[in-house]
Amino acid sequence: MATEKNFRPQTFDDYQGQEKAKKILKIAIKAAEIKGTCLDHVLLAAESGVGKTTVARIIANESGQNFKEYSGPSIKTVADITDILQQVDENDCILIDEIHSLKKPVQEVLFLAMENFTLNVNIDGEIICQQLPHFTIIGATTELSGLELPMRNRFQLQINLVPYTDDNMTDIVKNVFKAMKVEVNEECARLIAGCTRGVPRNANSYCRRVYDVALVTNNGIVNEEVVYDTFDLMDINEYGLNGTDMRYLQLLYDNRKSTGLDTIALALGTDKKSVETVIEPFLFKSGVATKGPRGRKITQKGVEVIESLTIL
Protein backbone atom coordinates (compact mmCIF):
# COMPACT_ATOMS: atom_id res chain seq x y z
CA MET A 1 0.00 0.00 0.00
CA ALA A 2 1.33 3.42 -0.92
CA THR A 3 1.80 6.01 1.76
CA GLU A 4 0.40 9.54 1.52
CA LYS A 5 3.86 10.75 0.52
CA ASN A 6 3.78 8.40 -2.48
CA PHE A 7 0.57 10.05 -3.70
CA ARG A 8 2.45 13.27 -4.36
CA PRO A 9 3.86 13.66 -7.87
CA GLN A 10 7.63 13.96 -7.95
CA THR A 11 8.01 15.60 -11.39
CA PHE A 12 6.10 18.15 -13.44
CA ASP A 13 5.27 15.43 -15.97
CA ASP A 14 3.35 13.59 -13.25
CA TYR A 15 1.72 16.75 -11.90
CA GLN A 16 -1.85 17.40 -13.10
CA GLY A 17 -2.98 20.88 -14.11
CA GLN A 18 -1.20 24.25 -13.75
CA GLU A 19 0.09 24.03 -17.33
CA LYS A 20 1.20 27.66 -17.59
CA ALA A 21 2.95 27.59 -14.21
CA LYS A 22 4.72 24.35 -15.14
CA LYS A 23 5.94 25.79 -18.43
CA ILE A 24 7.32 28.92 -16.74
CA LEU A 25 9.07 26.90 -14.04
CA LYS A 26 10.50 24.32 -16.46
CA ILE A 27 12.05 27.09 -18.55
CA ALA A 28 13.45 28.84 -15.46
CA ILE A 29 14.94 25.60 -14.14
CA LYS A 30 16.53 24.75 -17.50
CA ALA A 31 17.90 28.29 -17.87
CA ALA A 32 19.47 28.14 -14.40
CA GLU A 33 21.05 24.81 -15.33
CA ILE A 34 22.53 26.27 -18.53
CA LYS A 35 23.84 29.32 -16.66
CA GLY A 36 25.22 27.18 -13.84
CA THR A 37 23.37 29.18 -11.19
CA CYS A 38 20.74 28.61 -8.55
CA LEU A 39 17.14 28.93 -9.62
CA ASP A 40 15.73 32.42 -9.02
CA HIS A 41 13.58 32.88 -5.92
CA VAL A 42 9.98 31.72 -6.42
CA LEU A 43 6.74 33.00 -4.89
CA LEU A 44 3.77 30.61 -5.10
CA ALA A 45 0.39 32.19 -4.41
CA ALA A 46 -2.81 30.15 -4.13
CA GLU A 47 -5.61 29.23 -1.80
CA SER A 48 -5.01 26.57 0.83
CA GLY A 49 -4.74 22.98 -0.37
CA VAL A 50 -4.06 23.72 -4.04
CA GLY A 51 -0.60 22.13 -3.92
CA LYS A 52 1.98 24.82 -3.22
CA THR A 53 4.15 22.46 -1.15
CA THR A 54 3.98 19.78 -3.84
CA VAL A 55 5.06 22.29 -6.50
CA ALA A 56 7.94 23.42 -4.27
CA ARG A 57 9.16 19.85 -3.85
CA ILE A 58 8.97 19.25 -7.59
CA ILE A 59 10.98 22.43 -8.21
CA ALA A 60 13.70 21.12 -5.90
CA ASN A 61 13.61 17.68 -7.53
CA GLU A 62 13.81 18.97 -11.08
CA SER A 63 16.51 21.53 -10.33
CA GLY A 64 18.60 19.02 -8.36
CA GLN A 65 18.54 21.17 -5.23
CA ASN A 66 18.47 20.04 -1.61
CA PHE A 67 14.98 20.72 -0.21
CA LYS A 68 14.36 22.26 3.20
CA GLU A 69 10.97 23.28 4.54
CA TYR A 70 9.96 25.76 7.24
CA SER A 71 6.63 27.08 8.49
CA GLY A 72 6.32 30.87 8.47
CA PRO A 73 4.49 31.10 11.82
CA SER A 74 7.38 29.24 13.49
CA ILE A 75 9.87 31.92 12.37
CA LYS A 76 8.96 34.52 14.96
CA THR A 77 12.11 36.60 15.43
CA VAL A 78 15.15 37.96 13.60
CA ALA A 79 17.18 35.41 15.54
CA ASP A 80 15.04 32.60 14.08
CA ILE A 81 15.57 33.65 10.46
CA THR A 82 19.25 34.34 11.12
CA ASP A 83 19.68 30.82 12.46
CA ILE A 84 17.99 29.36 9.36
CA LEU A 85 20.14 31.39 6.99
CA GLN A 86 23.34 30.44 8.79
CA GLN A 87 22.49 26.77 8.21
CA VAL A 88 22.04 27.21 4.45
CA ASP A 89 24.21 25.05 2.20
CA GLU A 90 25.18 25.82 -1.39
CA ASN A 91 22.29 25.28 -3.81
CA ASP A 92 19.65 24.72 -1.11
CA CYS A 93 16.00 25.11 -2.05
CA ILE A 94 14.18 26.50 0.99
CA LEU A 95 10.40 26.53 1.23
CA ILE A 96 8.84 28.97 3.69
CA ASP A 97 5.16 28.11 3.91
CA GLU A 98 2.76 30.90 4.92
CA ILE A 99 5.56 33.37 4.28
CA HIS A 100 3.06 36.22 4.70
CA SER A 101 3.06 35.52 8.46
CA LEU A 102 6.67 36.72 8.85
CA LYS A 103 6.88 39.96 10.80
CA LYS A 104 8.33 43.01 9.06
CA PRO A 105 11.79 42.88 10.75
CA VAL A 106 12.08 39.19 9.81
CA GLN A 107 11.09 39.93 6.21
CA GLU A 108 13.73 42.68 6.04
CA VAL A 109 16.53 40.32 7.07
CA LEU A 110 15.32 37.69 4.62
CA PHE A 111 14.92 39.91 1.56
CA LEU A 112 18.38 41.42 2.04
CA ALA A 113 19.84 37.91 2.19
CA MET A 114 17.87 36.93 -0.91
CA GLU A 115 19.19 39.90 -2.84
CA ASN A 116 22.91 39.77 -2.05
CA PHE A 117 23.40 36.38 -0.35
CA THR A 118 24.80 38.22 2.66
CA LEU A 119 23.77 38.39 6.31
CA ASN A 120 24.63 41.06 8.85
CA VAL A 121 25.41 39.42 12.19
CA ASN A 122 26.29 40.94 15.54
CA ILE A 123 29.53 39.48 16.92
CA ASP A 124 30.65 40.93 20.26
CA GLY A 125 28.86 44.18 19.51
CA GLU A 126 30.31 44.53 16.02
CA ILE A 127 28.17 44.13 12.88
CA ILE A 128 29.85 41.70 10.49
CA CYS A 129 28.67 41.11 6.92
CA GLN A 130 28.66 37.34 6.46
CA GLN A 131 28.72 35.86 2.95
CA LEU A 132 26.11 33.15 2.45
CA PRO A 133 26.05 30.22 0.02
CA HIS A 134 23.78 30.68 -2.99
CA PHE A 135 20.26 29.38 -2.41
CA THR A 136 16.69 29.56 -3.66
CA ILE A 137 13.81 30.72 -1.48
CA ILE A 138 10.35 29.45 -2.36
CA GLY A 139 7.67 31.44 -0.58
CA ALA A 140 4.19 29.95 -0.37
CA THR A 141 1.30 32.21 0.53
CA THR A 142 -2.46 32.49 0.62
CA GLU A 143 -2.22 36.21 1.46
CA LEU A 144 -0.05 38.26 -0.88
CA SER A 145 -1.08 41.43 0.95
CA GLY A 146 0.77 40.18 4.03
CA LEU A 147 4.12 40.52 2.26
CA GLU A 148 5.97 43.82 2.31
CA LEU A 149 6.52 45.21 -1.21
CA PRO A 150 10.36 44.92 -0.98
CA MET A 151 9.87 41.27 0.03
CA ARG A 152 7.60 40.54 -2.94
CA ASN A 153 10.02 42.27 -5.28
CA ARG A 154 12.84 39.89 -4.33
CA PHE A 155 10.94 37.02 -5.95
CA GLN A 156 11.92 37.03 -9.61
CA LEU A 157 9.39 34.27 -10.33
CA GLN A 158 5.89 35.02 -9.05
CA ILE A 159 3.47 32.20 -9.82
CA ASN A 160 -0.28 32.21 -9.19
CA LEU A 161 -1.60 28.66 -9.04
CA VAL A 162 -5.07 28.59 -10.57
CA PRO A 163 -8.06 26.54 -9.32
CA TYR A 164 -8.24 22.99 -10.66
CA THR A 165 -10.85 21.97 -13.20
CA ASP A 166 -13.12 18.96 -12.74
CA ASP A 167 -11.04 17.09 -15.32
CA ASN A 168 -7.83 17.92 -13.41
CA MET A 169 -9.34 16.63 -10.19
CA THR A 170 -10.61 13.45 -11.88
CA ASP A 171 -7.09 12.75 -13.14
CA ILE A 172 -5.68 13.42 -9.66
CA VAL A 173 -8.18 10.97 -8.12
CA LYS A 174 -7.20 8.33 -10.69
CA ASN A 175 -3.52 8.87 -9.92
CA VAL A 176 -4.10 8.51 -6.18
CA PHE A 177 -5.86 5.18 -6.69
CA LYS A 178 -3.11 4.13 -9.10
CA ALA A 179 -0.51 4.83 -6.41
CA MET A 180 -2.63 2.76 -4.01
CA LYS A 181 -2.78 -0.02 -6.64
CA VAL A 182 -6.58 0.11 -6.55
CA GLU A 183 -8.80 -0.02 -9.64
CA VAL A 184 -11.38 2.74 -10.07
CA ASN A 185 -13.68 3.44 -13.00
CA GLU A 186 -14.31 6.80 -14.65
CA GLU A 187 -17.68 7.38 -13.01
CA CYS A 188 -16.38 6.74 -9.49
CA ALA A 189 -13.37 8.96 -10.11
CA ARG A 190 -15.65 11.78 -11.27
CA LEU A 191 -17.98 11.36 -8.30
CA ILE A 192 -15.08 11.68 -5.88
CA ALA A 193 -13.52 14.55 -7.82
CA GLY A 194 -16.81 16.46 -7.72
CA CYS A 195 -16.71 16.52 -3.93
CA THR A 196 -13.08 17.61 -3.50
CA ARG A 197 -13.73 21.36 -3.86
CA GLY A 198 -10.87 21.43 -6.35
CA VAL A 199 -8.33 20.66 -3.62
CA PRO A 200 -5.79 17.86 -4.26
CA ARG A 201 -5.32 17.38 -0.51
CA ASN A 202 -9.00 16.49 -0.26
CA ALA A 203 -8.63 14.06 -3.16
CA ASN A 204 -5.88 12.21 -1.29
CA SER A 205 -7.95 12.03 1.88
CA TYR A 206 -11.23 11.07 0.22
CA CYS A 207 -9.67 8.31 -1.87
CA ARG A 208 -8.25 6.73 1.27
CA ARG A 209 -11.63 6.90 3.01
CA VAL A 210 -13.40 5.39 -0.01
CA TYR A 211 -10.92 2.53 -0.12
CA ASP A 212 -11.33 1.92 3.61
CA VAL A 213 -15.07 1.50 3.12
CA ALA A 214 -14.48 -0.71 0.08
CA LEU A 215 -12.13 -2.95 2.08
CA VAL A 216 -14.57 -3.39 4.94
CA THR A 217 -17.84 -3.64 3.01
CA ASN A 218 -17.09 -4.71 -0.57
CA ASN A 219 -13.95 -6.88 -0.64
CA GLY A 220 -11.80 -3.90 -1.62
CA ILE A 221 -13.80 -3.15 -4.78
CA VAL A 222 -14.53 0.54 -5.35
CA ASN A 223 -17.89 1.12 -7.02
CA GLU A 224 -20.52 3.87 -7.04
CA GLU A 225 -22.38 2.47 -4.04
CA VAL A 226 -19.17 2.46 -2.00
CA VAL A 227 -18.46 6.06 -3.00
CA TYR A 228 -21.96 7.22 -2.02
CA ASP A 229 -21.77 5.31 1.28
CA THR A 230 -18.41 6.87 2.07
CA PHE A 231 -19.56 10.43 1.50
CA ASP A 232 -22.74 9.75 3.44
CA LEU A 233 -20.60 8.67 6.40
CA MET A 234 -18.47 11.80 5.98
CA ASP A 235 -21.60 13.99 5.83
CA ILE A 236 -20.62 15.32 2.40
CA ASN A 237 -23.25 15.59 -0.33
CA GLU A 238 -23.00 15.41 -4.10
CA TYR A 239 -22.23 19.13 -4.29
CA GLY A 240 -19.20 18.76 -2.03
CA LEU A 241 -21.03 20.52 0.82
CA ASN A 242 -20.70 19.22 4.36
CA GLY A 243 -23.15 19.41 7.25
CA THR A 244 -21.94 22.81 8.41
CA ASP A 245 -22.18 24.21 4.89
CA MET A 246 -25.75 22.97 4.63
CA ARG A 247 -26.75 24.46 8.00
CA TYR A 248 -25.33 27.78 6.78
CA LEU A 249 -27.27 27.55 3.51
CA GLN A 250 -30.46 26.42 5.25
CA LEU A 251 -30.29 29.47 7.52
CA LEU A 252 -30.04 31.79 4.52
CA TYR A 253 -32.76 29.84 2.72
CA ASP A 254 -35.14 30.18 5.65
CA ASN A 255 -34.44 33.91 6.04
CA ARG A 256 -34.52 34.75 2.32
CA LYS A 257 -33.02 38.13 3.20
CA SER A 258 -29.56 39.40 4.11
CA THR A 259 -28.25 37.72 7.24
CA GLY A 260 -25.52 39.22 9.41
CA LEU A 261 -22.27 37.48 10.28
CA ASP A 262 -23.06 37.59 14.01
CA THR A 263 -26.34 35.77 13.44
CA ILE A 264 -24.69 33.12 11.28
CA ALA A 265 -21.86 32.48 13.75
CA LEU A 266 -24.34 32.15 16.62
CA ALA A 267 -26.57 29.76 14.68
CA LEU A 268 -23.60 27.57 13.71
CA GLY A 269 -22.08 27.63 17.19
CA THR A 270 -18.76 28.99 16.02
CA ASP A 271 -16.84 32.27 15.86
CA LYS A 272 -17.05 34.89 13.13
CA LYS A 273 -13.49 34.35 11.94
CA SER A 274 -14.13 30.65 11.37
CA VAL A 275 -17.23 31.49 9.37
CA GLU A 276 -15.29 33.92 7.18
CA THR A 277 -12.11 31.90 6.71
CA VAL A 278 -13.25 28.27 6.87
CA ILE A 279 -16.91 28.03 5.89
CA GLU A 280 -17.66 30.87 3.49
CA PRO A 281 -14.83 30.77 0.92
CA PHE A 282 -16.08 27.63 -0.82
CA LEU A 283 -19.74 28.67 -0.56
CA PHE A 284 -19.00 31.98 -2.27
CA LYS A 285 -16.68 30.34 -4.80
CA SER A 286 -19.27 27.73 -5.74
CA GLY A 287 -21.94 30.40 -6.16
CA VAL A 288 -24.49 29.14 -3.63
CA ALA A 289 -24.21 32.21 -1.40
CA THR A 290 -23.08 35.79 -1.77
CA LYS A 291 -21.98 38.63 0.49
CA GLY A 292 -23.29 42.18 0.27
CA PRO A 293 -23.11 45.35 2.38
CA ARG A 294 -26.08 44.22 4.50
CA GLY A 295 -24.99 40.64 5.01
CA ARG A 296 -25.11 37.23 3.36
CA LYS A 297 -27.80 35.95 1.01
CA ILE A 298 -28.51 32.64 -0.66
CA THR A 299 -28.32 32.68 -4.47
CA GLN A 300 -30.69 31.01 -6.90
CA LYS A 301 -28.14 28.23 -7.27
CA GLY A 302 -28.14 27.82 -3.49
CA VAL A 303 -31.93 27.65 -3.46
CA GLU A 304 -31.80 24.93 -6.11
CA VAL A 305 -29.27 22.97 -4.04
CA ILE A 306 -31.43 23.12 -0.91
CA GLU A 307 -34.62 22.22 -2.75
CA SER A 308 -33.06 19.40 -4.76
CA LEU A 309 -31.71 17.76 -1.62
CA THR A 310 -35.03 18.27 0.18
CA ILE A 311 -36.81 16.49 -2.67
CA LEU A 312 -34.29 13.65 -2.53
Between helix 186-193 and helix 166-179 the angle, nearest 10°, is: 120
Catalytic residue, chosen from 82, 97, 141, 154, is 97
The yes-or-no answer on residue 40 being catalytic is: no
Catalytic residue, chosen from 22, 40, 53, 270, is 53
Catalytic residue, chosen from 22, 201, 297, 301, is 201
Catalytic residue, chosen from 22, 26, 103, 142, is 142
The yes-or-no answer on residue 142 being catalytic is: yes
| Residue-wise DSSP of the chain | ---HHHHS-SSTTT--S-HHHHHHHHHHHHHHHHHTSPPPPEEEE--TTSSHHHHHHHHHHHHTPEEEEEEGGG--SHHHHHHHHHT--TTEEEEEETGGGS-HHHHHHHHHHHHHSEEEEEETTEEEEEE---EEEEEEES-GGGS-HHHHHT-SEEEEPPPPPHHHHHHHHHHHHHHTT----HHHHHHHHTTTTT-HHHHHHHHHHHHHHHHHHSTT---HHHHHHHHHHTTB-TTS-BHHHHHHHHHHHHH-S-B-HHHHHHHHTS-HHHIIIIIHHHHHHTTSEEEETTEEEE-HHHHHHHHHHHH-
The yes-or-no answer on residue 290 being catalytic is: no
The yes-or-no answer on residue 103 being catalytic is: no
- Identify the CA nearest to 41 among candidates 113, 144, 127, 132: 113
How many Å separate Cα 125 from the centre of its chain? 43
The yes-or-no answer on residue 141 being catalytic is: no
Residues annotated as catalytic (active site), given as ranges: 52-53, 97, 142, 201
